Structure 1
Amino acid sequence: MKHLSALNKYFWKYRVRLIIGVFFVVVSNYFGVLAPQITGYIIDFVQRNLPGYVAKAKKPSYDVSVKAFIRWIEGIHLQPIKIVLFSGVLILALALLRGFFMFLMRQTLIVMSRHIEYDQKNEVFDHYQKLDASFYKTHSTGDLMSRMAEDVSRVRQFTGPAIMYFTNLVTLIGMSVFFMWKRDAELTLYVLSPLPILAVTIYIVNTIIHKKSEAVQAALGALTSTAQQAYSGIRVIKSFVQEDAMFKAFEASSEKYRSGATSLAKVESMYFPSMTLLIGLSTLLTIMIGGIYYINGHREMGIDTIVEFVIYINMLTFPVSAIGWTASMIQRASASQKRLNEFLQTEPSIASPAEAKDIALTGDIKLENVSFTYAHTGIEAVKKLNLHIRAGERVAVVGRTGSGKTTLIQLILRLYDVTEGRILLDDVPIDKINLGRLREQMSYVPQDGFLFSDSVAANIAFGTKWMDKEQVQEAAKLAVVHRDIESFSKGYDTEIGERGVTLSGGQKQRISIARGLLKASPIMIFDDCLSAVDARTEKEIMTNLVSHLKGRTSLFITHRVFQLFGFDRIIVLEEGELKEQGTHEELLQKRGLYFAMYQRQLQEEDPQEN
């Protein structure tokens, strides 16, 4: 139960529903345990009215409510047949009352569990969004989805049905044993003698179930992850004709889940037969021992007592059999909550400081002796980097693949924290600035811009808290994608499918550019976002950006040379180190890395022109 203690905050939040629900459980079971006593009274009353009846020295013990009914019905001196009839009507009324309060019980406890499920899914999703980029490099999307969907659903089985059935079986067993003990303590001990066997069985089986539940949930996460990757990469799978290979991978994951789930089901299947056997033994002991006592005239044992005990035992059939079911749900929920706790207790390494500064950035960026090493690979992507980008400056960061360009941008966005050195924005350390406010003032266009399964307009306006149609269209025109959008079936209202699957690579990149331009932040970052755009469109976009980015700090990450854009400064990175910086003309005169890149680009473009 230690893992499930994380749910206490929800129980406290919905404590009114929980308390009322438990009250309904108690009331419902109270009306239930009165029926055997009324039945016992009817048997005793009929016996007392038979010829030759010998009164017992000890009168039967009844509940206060039953005693009040007996005094009333015998006080009005009705005929025996009418007393039996009234008693039968009372048993029916008790059954109706019990059913009504069981309905209220489900309305409170099960509904409470749905509220908790809603809150918990929101908590998990909100925490996922707080976790940093390094977390998502080491965890698969399928596993994250499985934890929020399947694991939360299994936890709901604990917060609703398991609590309801557990409270029901505890109160019903407690009340039944109490009244059985009052009626005949020795017979009660005989009847309950199989309970130690029950306790040992439950303990052993629960231990096995807990271990198997963890394995099953882990296998389900792997299965979901395999399916998610197949759906996301279906075009690659089809183009490489790898349907059979992917099916075999899915089949292997599915088989692992099936074998684990089957093994778990086999263990759980031990519960019901064990409970039925123990209930049968208790019934047999009641009839056998009670019958022997009655035949021998021992201890004033009456048929009414035997009948009452048999009814109690049969009444306990469901709650006792539910012990295994409830215990299984609790064990499954415990395993699932343990998996959830692993994430919920993971603190993001990137977070706003306790006394975060909320500043309006002008765009001045300083990097002082910055180094960064990826924790999960050990690769040092940036080394001793010193750089000052002034507010409003247009800077190109060039270099070959793996030179540290994208890492530099991720450090400025504070998707990662530097390993050494520090980054200052407007002379304020970046880790002292409110994280949300920091990113609000940066507009980032990645190379593989992610598009959501929504309309084109909604995707362009994603980075803003409003959506003005005219401004959306203006941003699309600057990104040279307006004509393409107008040609779509529903224009800007066209649904683009998951990850923009209905669009070409160039269209996706230009919509991402439009999204970044619409945000119009003081710091604009473009990470090689024109790689899928043809030369003519690229030139048109760059021309549009000249006027639009005026007065804003602009960083262009690229492995190509944009000669016509007129950057204030070009920075050349090589293996994470700053090798060269200056204007286009200055770097050509140095005849270093930039010059070599420029010459290589000219050689690649000449054959195309010829």
Structure 2
Amino acid sequence: MFLQLQTLFPYLVRHRWRYVAGFSTLILKTLLAGTIPFVLRFAVDSLTKSFTSETLWKWALLLLTLALTKGVFQYWMRLLLIGISRDIEYEFRNDVLSHLLCMPRKFFRSYRTGDLMSRVTNDMNAVRLMLGAGVMHTVDVILTFFVVLTVMSATDWKLTCLIFLPTLLVSLVVSYFGRHIHNYSQKVQESFADISALTQESLSNIRIVRAYAREELEITRFTELNRKYVATNWKLIKLWGKFYPLLELLVGVTYLVVLWYGGRRVLSGELTLGSFVMFMTYMMMLTWPMIGFGWVVNVIQRGTASLKRLNELLKQPPSIADPTVNISRSTEIRGDLQLCDVTIRYPNSEQRILRNLNLDITAGESMAIVGPTGGGKSSLVELIPRVIEPSEGVILVDGENIRSIPLRILRGSIGMVPQETLLFSATIRENIVFGCPGASNRSIKDVTEMACLNKDIADFPNGYETLVGERGVTLSGGQKQRIAIARALLRDPRILILDDAFSSVDTVTEEHILRQLKIVMRNRTTLLISHRTSTAQYADRIVVLVAGKIIEDGTHEALLRKQGYYYELHQKQLIEREIESVKS
């Protein structure tokens, strides 16, 4: 357990002085709480000997003052200690999310989105409860036992021994049930994560679910996971059902011991009535610690189980990170790219995506990459912003190893339209300015015109302020791609990457966008992936990538003269266009 808690040490140290203040108020509160029964003892004995209104008011005011002072300290105790847990939760959640955003793609293939969401929200709440109420009540219980034990032992050690004998049984009961509660708490958290993941997947892919009429299947899958979650919770509930009655039984036995033995000592004159009242009051004070100890155990066990799940994420370091040596660049990236003997292998396999690839791209040059599906085109361009890393070989940017360039500078110089268009659940404007939040309205309008998006935006009721829904669900595929193109152009990047960015755009719109981009591409390095030769011909240079190797390289006209793969692809697409024109 202590190994899991090491993750929280930096946060605890950061807030150490607030913890000192919080625990100081807790100690004062506990001392005052322990003083009240002690004062009550003298009050009862004093009133027993001589009962007067003056004496009654004197003791009543003293007890009231102690109670009010205790209440003030108790207020600040909760404000400080619970407040710290909220602040640590805020900082820890931010750090976990920052860590997740730095993780490579293979990490997200290992964890479902719903599972990660459950860890960042539900598990984080459990950790916060452990650091706040869990820590506060644990220290409170220990101090209360210590204060009560000290005062009671000084008054009557025999009666005190009889009272604390049941507490030995309490420790055994807590130890036994605590282990099982911890295990089932972790299983409950994992089951909840499975439910969250399935719900997120079903709702995100609601179009596919409905298109294939698989609602019943999704409901069945959800029901099975829900049933497993409830069954695990029932096992935990049964444990609690046994745990609390046992604790209450031990508390009841303790009360009986005090009444029987203490009453006899009062009757025999060995113990004053005031001392007996003090013992009974202390017993009432111990009732919550003895029963609440079970709740504290549950909170701590749940918290450590959740912290273990979060540590599982944090212990995995990002495989793509900034250089360890601080390198400051005096000039911006120009866009010269060089790939030297670059190879990419599939994870845990010798099968290669790219095979000893060598490629030089001059700054300002536009290059189209064509080839069959699965040939490695997307993997090639993902090497440039370091979305993935090569298994072998070196990539140079402006003659400098790409690994030595800070990610912020490298990626800040790249505008990328990925093969899968991803939009945020925000407005069109917010999606366009995502990579350049300070962009002017004039700049936004210019890039939307380049992307042939201005007419679509004018047709929307709210224009640029139109909400696109989660992942752009309210837009067509072509509209989403054009928003992504506008987003990339707005950054005015030195390197522009278009990964099959026109697949959902009709040929007329594509031709218009490419004419606009022809001007833009003159001043920046452009990598253009396309399956259409009509798109590739706009580039200064075309490479054909098949099975991870470059088999052809040249201009559109030069490759047609070779009559190789590119020529055959071009002829096939010409025939397809002629057939389509005849049909229309």
Do both share a fold (TM > 0.5)?
yes
1:4 alignment partner in structure 2: 5
RMSD (CA atoms): 1.6
Q: Aligned to 1:162, which of 105, 125, 134?
A: 134
TM-score normalised by structure 2 residue count: 0.96
Deviations 1:124-158 (A, max 9, x none): 11111111122112211111111100011000101
1:222 alignment partner in structure 2: 194
The whole-number CA distance in structure 1 between the counterparts of 2:37 and 2:499 is 78
- The question of whether the paired residues in 2 share the 8 Å contact of 1:353 and 1:434 is answered with yes
1:603 alignment partner in structure 2: 575
Q: Aligned to 1:233, which of 201, 205, 228?
A: 205
2:55 alignment partner in structure 1: 83
Q: CA deviation at 1:524?
A: 0.7
Counterpart residue identity of residue 146, structure 1: S
Q: CA deviation at 1:368?
A: 0.9
1:331 alignment partner in structure 2: 301
Counterpart residue identity of residue 189, structure 1: C
Counterpart residue identity of residue 437, structure 1: I
The whole-number CA distance in structure 2 between the counterparts of 1:539 and 1:190 is 92
Q: CA deviation at 1:275?
A: 2.2
Deviations 1:104-137 (A, max 9, x none): 2111111111111111111111111111122112
- The question of whether the paired residues in 2 share the 8 Å contact of 1:268 and 1:328 is answered with no
Q: Which moved more, 1:542-551 or 1:8-17?
A: 8-17
Deviations 1:500-548 (A, max 9, x none): 1111110000111111111111111100010001111011011111111
The whole-number CA distance in structure 2 between the counterparts of 1:146 and 1:173 is 37
- Per the alignment, do residues 537 and 98 of structure 1 end up closer, same or farther by CA in structure 2, a change over 3 Å counting? same
1:509 alignment partner in structure 2: 481
Match status 1:349 vs 2:319? yes
Query: 3-state SS of the aligned residue for 2:363?
Result: coil
- The question of whether the paired residues in 2 share the 8 Å contact of 1:10 and 1:116 is answered with yes
The whole-number CA distance in structure 2 between the counterparts of 1:289 and 1:378 is 79
- The question of whether the paired residues in 1 share the 8 Å contact of 2:192 and 2:229 is answered with yes
The whole-number CA distance in structure 1 between the counterparts of 2:31 and 2:350 is 66
- Per the alignment, do residues 296 and 582 of structure 1 end up closer, same or farther by CA in structure 2, a change over 3 Å counting? same
Q: Aligned to 1:313, which of 283, 306, 310?
A: 283
Query: 3-state SS of the aligned residue for 1:87?
Result: helix
2:429 alignment partner in structure 1: 457
Provide the aligned length of Structure 1 versus Structure 2: 579
TM-score normalised by structure 1 residue count: 0.92
- The question of whether the paired residues in 2 share the 8 Å contact of 1:40 and 1:307 is answered with yes
- Per the alignment, do residues 415 and 146 of structure 1 end up closer, same or farther by CA in structure 2, a change over 3 Å counting? same
Match status 1:113 vs 2:85? yes
Q: Aligned to 2:456, which of 463, 467, 484?
A: 484
Aligned residue runs from structure 1 range 339-378, under 5 A: 339-357=309-327, 358=329, 360-375=332-347
2:163 alignment partner in structure 1: 191
Aligned residue runs from structure 1 range 171-182, under 5 A: 171-182=143-154
2:43 alignment partner in structure 1: 42
Counterpart residue identity of residue 382, structure 1: L
- The question of whether the paired residues in 2 share the 8 Å contact of 1:563 and 1:584 is answered with no
Q: Aligned to 1:98, which of 70, 91, 96?
A: 70
- The question of whether the paired residues in 2 share the 8 Å contact of 1:570 and 1:582 is answered with yes
- Per the alignment, do residues 444 and 280 of structure 1 end up closer, same or farther by CA in structure 2, a change over 3 Å counting? same
Aligned residue runs from structure 1 range 26-65, under 5 A: 26-49=27-50
The whole-number CA distance in structure 2 between the counterparts of 1:454 and 1:155 is 31
Match status 1:573 vs 2:545? yes
Match status 1:520 vs 2:492? yes
Query: 3-state SS of the aligned residue for 2:419?
Result: coil
Q: CA deviation at 1:224?
A: 0.6
The whole-number CA distance in structure 2 between the counterparts of 1:302 and 1:551 is 97
Counterpart residue identity of residue 23, structure 2: V
The whole-number CA distance in structure 2 between the counterparts of 1:204 and 1:240 is 50
The whole-number CA distance in structure 2 between the counterparts of 1:444 and 1:268 is 54
Work out the percentage of aligned pairs sharing the same amino acid: 35
Q: CA deviation at 1:474?
A: 0.4
2:20 alignment partner in structure 1: 19
The whole-number CA distance in structure 2 between the counterparts of 1:601 and 1:264 is 64
Query: 3-state SS of the aligned residue for 2:165?
Result: coil
Aligned residue runs from structure 1 range 380-395, under 5 A: 380-395=352-367
Counterpart residue identity of residue 16, structure 2: R
- Per the alignment, do residues 461 and 563 of structure 1 end up closer, same or farther by CA in structure 2, a change over 3 Å counting? closer
1:440 alignment partner in structure 2: 412
- The question of whether the paired residues in 1 share the 8 Å contact of 2:266 and 2:276 is answered with no
2:101 alignment partner in structure 1: 129
The whole-number CA distance in structure 2 between the counterparts of 1:480 and 1:296 is 100
- The question of whether the paired residues in 1 share the 8 Å contact of 2:47 and 2:55 is answered with no
Deviations 1:415-453 (A, max 9, x none): 111111111111111111111111111110112221111
- The question of whether the paired residues in 2 share the 8 Å contact of 1:542 and 1:565 is answered with no
Query: 3-state SS of the aligned residue for 2:539?
Result: coil
1:533 alignment partner in structure 2: 505
The whole-number CA distance in structure 1 between the counterparts of 2:184 and 2:115 is 18
Counterpart residue identity of residue 206, structure 1: G
**Which runs of 5 or more residues in structure 2 are unaligned?**
none
Match status 1:555 vs 2:527? yes
Q: Which moved more, 1:38-47 or 1:493-502?
A: 38-47
Q: Aligned to 1:242, which of 210, 214, 217?
A: 214
Q: CA deviation at 1:295?
A: 4.0
Query: 3-state SS of the aligned residue for 2:357?
Result: strand
2:178 alignment partner in structure 1: 206
Q: CA deviation at 1:47?
A: 4.1
Counterpart residue identity of residue 21, structure 1: G
Q: CA deviation at 1:293?
A: 3.3
The whole-number CA distance in structure 2 between the counterparts of 1:13 and 1:551 is 49
Q: Which moved more, 1:134-143 or 1:2-11?
A: 2-11
Aligned residue runs from structure 1 range 236-315, under 5 A: 236-296=208-268, 300-315=270-285
The whole-number CA distance in structure 1 between the counterparts of 2:209 and 2:416 is 30
Q: Which moved more, 1:537-546 or 1:493-502?
A: 493-502
- The question of whether the paired residues in 2 share the 8 Å contact of 1:271 and 1:325 is answered with no
